[in-house]
C-alpha cells in the first residue's frame, strides 16, 4: 500500500525555488492544487498489478459498442474514409479527454464526486450526474447481458432452435410469422422477447427473461462484492476471452465464401459521405468508445500509485480500443459478406428455377442464358449478373437482379446484428452449437467487463464521500444490484425492448456530453490548464506537451459543444423514434415515442 502514498518530498515541482514555495503556500489559492489534495490513505484499495488495471480500463472501454456499433457506422458512413475521420477525432478529442480523466482520478485518488468537489464544492454535481448516468446505463445494459445468457443457454442443442421455422401443431403448416420473416427474426422477436406491436402495449412480464436478468445482476453483484479485489480477478478472463473469440471467428470467417467481398466493402472509402452527418456520428462513437463522463475512468485510476504514467495509459488504452474496433469490424464484415453472398446465390437459384419453368413450357427466347440453367452450382454470381444486365429489359418482372452489394448495403445495427444476422450465419457453420456458444459467451464477457466499470463509477464515488457507505461496501453493492434488478423489471415486459431502445438513445447521450463539457470547463477554465499540467508534471516527473493546454481549453470544448448542439438539433427535427415489430405484417416499422398516452 505504501506505493500508493504521495511522496511529500516531491509535492512541489523542483523547478520552483524555495522563496517562491513559501510565498505560494501563504497565498491561499482559491482552488487547491490537484496533487496536494491526493488522499494520503494507506487503507485505500490498490491494484495488485499494472496488468489488472490495464485490463480493467480496456474491459470497461471495450464493450458491445465495439462489436456492433462501430462496424455499423463504418458500414454506413464511408468505410475507410470514416475510419480516417474516427482516428483524427480520437487523437485530437478522445485521447486528451481520456488523459484528463485519468490524471484527475490518479492525482486526487477519489471517485468522480470527490474529484470535482475538490476544485469547488459547487462542482460536486458533476460527479453526482456521472453516478446517475451510470445507474441509468447499468439498468438497460444488464438486460443485454440477460439476452446473451438466454441465447447462450439455447445454444446447447442441435439443431439450433433458430435454424428452421417451427410448424403449427394443429395444421402442420409453417408458423405464418416465421414464414413471412426468417427463422432468426422469429426466434428473436417471438421466442426470446415475445414482443408487442408497440411500446403502448406493455404486455405481461417475460418469465424467462426475468430469470436471466436476475442471473445477470447476481453475477455482477458477486464480482463486485469485494471491490476491485474481486472484480480484478474476473477481469483476467472477461477482458481477454473476447479477443480470443474474435481472432477465432476472424480465422474461420476468412475461409468463408464472400469474406473477401466483405472486407473490400469495409475498407473502400466513400469520400462523399464525409460531407454528411458522419462528423457527428464519428465524434459520438469516440466519446462513448472511451467511456468518457461515466466517472468509471476516474474511479479506476484513483486506485493507481500516484506516480503511475497515466499519459502512457491513455495512449495505450485508446490504441487498444481502436484496434479492437477494427478487429471486430473485420469479423463482422467477413460474416456479413458470407451472408450476403449466400442470399445472392439463393436469389440466383430461385431465378434459374423460374427460367427452367419457362423453358420447360416450350418458350423459346433469344435472351436465354448462355450458361447451364439446370446446374445451379456451375453458375457464378458474376455470370448471372452479366446476363441480367444485358437482358433485364426483356425478361419481365419475375426475373430479378441478385446483387451482393445491395445485400451489403442493408445495414444491420445493434441487437439486430448480434441476435439476428450473426445467428443466421452461424446456422450455416458445421458444429453450429459450438460457434453459437462461443459467440454469446464473448458477448457476455464484453458486457460484464463494461458493467463492472459502470458499477464502479457508482460505488466508488459514494463510498469515498459517505464514510457510512464506505464501511458497508458489501451491503451497498448488494443493495445497488437489487435495486437495479427491481427497476430493470421494466425491460422484461413484452415491450421491454422498446424501453431498452429509449434508454440507449436518450438516457445517456446528452447527459454524458453535458457532463464532459462541465468537466472540461472545470479543469481548463476554473482550475486552469497550467496548474493542471504543473500537477501532472509532479506526478509523472516530466511535463506533458503544451499542446494539451490548447486541446483542453479550445478544441475539446468546442467539439463537445458542437456535438451537443448537433444532437439537440437532430432530436428536434427528427423526433424521438424507435423501431417496432408488427406481428401482422411481419415487418419492422418506425414509430415515435410521442404516441405514448
What's residue 84's pLDDT?
Answer: 86
Hey, which CATH number is domain 50-595, 2.60.40, 1.10.3210, 1.20.1740, 1.10.15? Answer: 1.20.1740
Asked whether 540 and 106 are in contact (CB, 8 A), the reply is no
Cell of 590: 418506425
Most confident of the ranges 207-221, 258-272, 331-345, 465-479: 207-221
**pLDDT above 60: residue 34:** no
What's residue 243's pLDDT?
Answer: 92
**Residue 62 known to bind ligand:** yes
What's residue 412's pLDDT?
Answer: 64
**pLDDT above 50: residue 27:** no
CA-closest candidate to residue 412, choices 504, 340, 324: 340
Asked whether 270 and 79 are in contact (CB, 8 A), the reply is yes
Asked whether 261 and 404 are in contact (CB, 8 A), the reply is yes
**pLDDT above 50: residue 22:** no
What's residue 362's pLDDT?
Answer: 62
**pLDDT above 80: residue 271:** no
**Residue pLDDT, tens place only, 447-504:** 998 999 899 899 989 988 888 887 888 999 999 999 999 999 999 999 888 898 888 8
CA distance 373 to 360: 12
Instruction: Calculate what percentage of the chain has a pLDDT beyond 90.
Output: 31
**pLDDT above 60: residue 185:** yes
What's residue 594's pLDDT?
Answer: 52
* Confidence class for position 596, pLDDT limits 50, 70, 90: very low
**pLDDT above 70: residue 7:** no
What's residue 23's pLDDT?
Answer: 34
Q: What is the 3-state secondary structure (H, E, C) of 142-193?
A: HHHHHHHHHHHHCCCCCCCCCCCCCECCCCCCECHHHHCCCHHHHHHHHHHC
What's residue 590's pLDDT?
Answer: 73
- Type and span of the H or E element at 581: strand 577-582
Dihedral angle of Cα 323, 329, 332, 338, to the nearest 10 degrees: -110
**pLDDT above 50: residue 524:** yes
Asked whether 54 and 318 are in contact (CB, 8 A), the reply is no
What's residue 104's pLDDT?
Answer: 92
Instruction: Calculate what percentage of the chain has a pLDDT beyond 70.
Output: 86
Which residues make Cβ contacts (< 8 Å) with residue 319, sequence separation at least 6? none
| Bigger pLDDT: 273 vs 185 | 185
Most confident of the ranges 278-282, 283-287, 586-590: 283-287
Asked whether 459 and 225 are in contact (CB, 8 A), the reply is no
What's residue 18's pLDDT?
Answer: 38
Kindly report which listed range (141-155, 226-240, 275-289) carries the lowest average pLDDT score: 226-240
Cell of 516: 464532459
Q: What is the 3-state secondary structure (H, E, C) of 407-473?
A: HHCCCCCCHHHHHHHHHHHHCCCCCHHHHHHHHHHHHHHHHHHHHHHHHHHHHHHHHHHCHHHHHCH
Number of CB atoms found within 10 A of residue 298's CB:
31
Q: What backbone phi and psi angles, to 5 degrees, belong to 87?
A: -60, -40
**Residue 59 known to bind ligand:** yes
CA distance 578 to 570: 14
CA distance 60 to 367: 59
* 527-542 mean pLDDT: 90
What's residue 365's pLDDT?
Answer: 62
Q: Which residues of 57-94 are buried (b: 16+ CB within 10 A; e: fewer)?
A: bbbbbbbbbbbbbbbbbbbbbbbebbbebbeebbeebb
* Confidence class for position 38, pLDDT limits 50, 70, 90: very low
**Residue 66 known to bind ligand:** yes
Give CA separation, 549 vs 33, 293, 520, 533, in Å: 17, 20, 11, 8
3-state helix, strand, coil in the chain (%, to 5): 70, 5, 25
Mean pLDDT score of the chain, rounded to an integer?
82
H-assigned helices in 27-123: 50-61, 64-76, 80-89, 95-108, 112-119
What's residue 237's pLDDT?
Answer: 84
* Confidence class for position 224, pLDDT limits 50, 70, 90: confident
Which residues make Cβ contacts (< 8 Å) with residue 17, sequence separation at least 6? none
**pLDDT above 70: residue 92:** yes
Kindly report which listed range (34-43, 158-167, 308-317) carries the lowest average pLDDT score: 34-43
Most confident of the ranges 114-123, 140-149, 196-205, 426-435: 140-149
* 126-133 mean pLDDT: 92
Cis preceding-peptide flag for 219 (omega within 30 of 0): no
Kindly report which listed range (220-229, 458-467, 562-571) carries the lowest average pLDDT score: 220-229
What's residue 221's pLDDT?
Answer: 92
CA-closest candidate to residue 98, choices 431, 500, 523: 523
**pLDDT above 60: residue 9:** no
**C-alpha 543 chain-centroid distance:** 33
Most confident of the ranges 225-229, 351-355, 502-506: 502-506
pTM (2 decimals)?
0.85
Asked whether 95 and 325 are in contact (CB, 8 A), the reply is no
Kindly report which listed range (21-25, 77-81, 449-453) carries the lowest average pLDDT score: 21-25
Provide the residue count of the chain.
Answer: 597
**pLDDT above 80: residue 407:** no
* 237-244 mean pLDDT: 88
**Residue pLDDT, tens place only, 115-124:** 899 888 888 8
**pLDDT above 60: residue 581:** yes
Cell of 168: 403449427
What's residue 43's pLDDT?
Answer: 65
**Residue pLDDT, tens place only, 378-389:** 778 888 888 877
Amino acid at each position: 500500500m505504501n506505493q500508493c502514498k504521495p511522496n511529500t518530498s516531491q509535492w512541489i515541482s523542483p523547478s520552483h525555488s524555495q522563496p517562491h514555495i513559501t510565498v505560494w503556500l501563504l497565498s491561499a489559492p482559491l482552488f487547491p492544487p490537484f496533487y496536494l489534495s491526493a488522499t494520503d490513505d494507506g487503507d485505500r484499495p490498490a491494484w495488485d498489478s499494472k496488468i489488472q488495471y490495464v485490463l480493467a480500463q480496456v474491459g470497461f472501454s471495450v464493450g458491445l459498442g465495439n462489436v456492433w456499433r462501430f462496424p455499423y457506422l463504418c458500414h454506413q458512413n464511408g468505410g475507410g474514409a470514416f475510419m480516417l475521420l474516427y482516428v483524427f477525432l480520437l487523437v485530437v478529442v478522445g485521447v486528451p479527454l481520456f488523459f484528463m480523466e485519468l490524471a484527475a482520478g490518479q492525482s486526487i485518488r477519489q471517485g468522480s464526486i470527490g474529484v470535482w468537489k475538490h476544485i469547488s464544492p459547487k462542482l460536486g454535481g458533476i460527479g453526482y450526474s456521472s453516478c446517475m448516468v451510470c445507474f441509468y446505463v447499468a439498468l438497460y445494459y444488464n438486460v443485454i447481458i440477460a439476452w446473451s445468457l438466454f441465447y447462450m443457454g439455447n445454444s446447447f442443442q442441435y439443431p439450433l432452435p433458430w435454424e428452421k421455422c417451427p410448424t403449427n401443431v394443429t395444421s402442420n403448416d409453417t408458423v405464418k410469422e416465421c414464414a413471412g420473416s426468417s427463422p432468426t427474426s422469429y426466434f428473436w422477436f417471438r421466442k426470446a422477447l415475445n414482443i408487442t406491436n408497440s411500446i403502448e402495449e406493455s404486455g405481461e412480464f417475460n418469465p424467462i427473461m426475468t430469470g436471466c436478468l436476475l442471473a445477470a445482476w447476481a453475477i455482477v453483484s458477486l464480482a463486485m462484492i469485494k471491490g476491485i479485489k474481486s472484480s480484478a480477478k474476473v477481469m483476467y478472463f472477461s477482458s481477454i476471452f473476447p479477443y480470443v473469440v474474435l481472432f477465432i471467428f476472424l480465422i474461420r470467417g476468412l475461409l468463408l465464401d464472400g469474406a473477401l467481398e466483405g472486407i473490400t466493402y469495409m475498407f473502400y472509402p466513400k469520400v462523399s459521405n464525409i460531407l454528411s452527418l458522419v462528423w457527428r456520428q464519428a465524434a459520438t462513437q469516440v466519446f462513448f468508445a472511451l467511456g468518457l463522463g461515466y466517472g468509471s475512468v476516474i474511479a479506476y485510476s484513483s486506485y493507481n500509485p500516484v506516480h503511475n504514467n497515466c499519459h502512457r495509459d491513455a495512449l495505450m488504452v485508446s490504441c487498444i480500443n481502436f484496434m479492437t474496433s477494427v478487429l471486430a469490424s473485420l469479423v463482422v464484415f467477413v460474416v456479413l459478406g458470407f451472408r450476403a453472398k449466400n442470399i445472392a446465390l439463393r436469389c440466383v437459384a430461385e431465378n434459374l428455377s423460374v427460367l427452367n419453368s419457362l423453358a420447360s413450357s416450350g418458350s423459346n427466347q433469344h435472351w436465354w442464358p448462355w450458361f447451364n440453367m439446370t446446374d445451379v452450382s456451375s453458375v457464378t454470381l458474376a455470370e448471372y449478373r452479366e446476363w441480367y444486365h444485358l437482358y433485364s429489359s426483356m425478361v419481365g418482372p419475375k426475373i430479378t437482379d441478385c446483387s451482393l452489394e445491395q445485400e451489403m448495403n442493408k445495414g444491420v445495427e445493434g441487437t439486430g446484428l448480434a441476435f439476428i444476422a450473426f445467428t443466421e450465419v452461424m446456422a450455416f457453420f458445421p458444429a453450429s452449437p459450438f460457434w453459437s456458444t462461443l459467440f454469446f459467451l464473448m458477448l457476455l464477457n464484453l458486457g460484464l467487463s463494461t458493467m463492472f466499470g459502470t458499477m464502479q463509477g457508482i460505488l466508488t464515488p459514494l463510498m469515498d464521500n459517505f464514510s457510512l457507505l464506505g464501511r458497508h461496501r458489501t451491503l451497498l453493492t448488494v443493495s445497488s444490484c437489487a435495486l437495479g434488478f427491481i427497476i430493470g423489471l421494466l425491460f422484461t415486459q413484452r415491450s421491454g425492448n422498446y424501453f431498452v431502445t429509449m434508454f440507449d438513445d436518450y438516457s445517456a447521450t446528452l447527459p454524458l456530453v453535458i457532463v464532459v463539457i462541465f468537466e472540461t470547463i472545470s479543469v481548463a477554465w476554473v482550475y486552469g490548464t497550467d496548474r493542471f499540467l504543473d500537477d501532472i508534471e509532479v506526478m509523472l516527473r516530466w511535463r506533458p506537451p503544451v499542446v494539451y493546454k490548447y486541446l483542453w481549453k479550445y478544441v475539446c470544448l468546442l467539439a463537445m459543444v458542437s456535438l451537443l448542439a448537433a444532437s439537440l438539433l437532430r432530436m428536434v427535427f427528427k423526433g424521438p423514434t424507435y423501431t417496432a415489430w408488427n406481428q401482422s405484417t411481419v415487418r419492422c416499422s418506425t414509430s415515435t415515442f410521442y404516441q405514448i398516452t
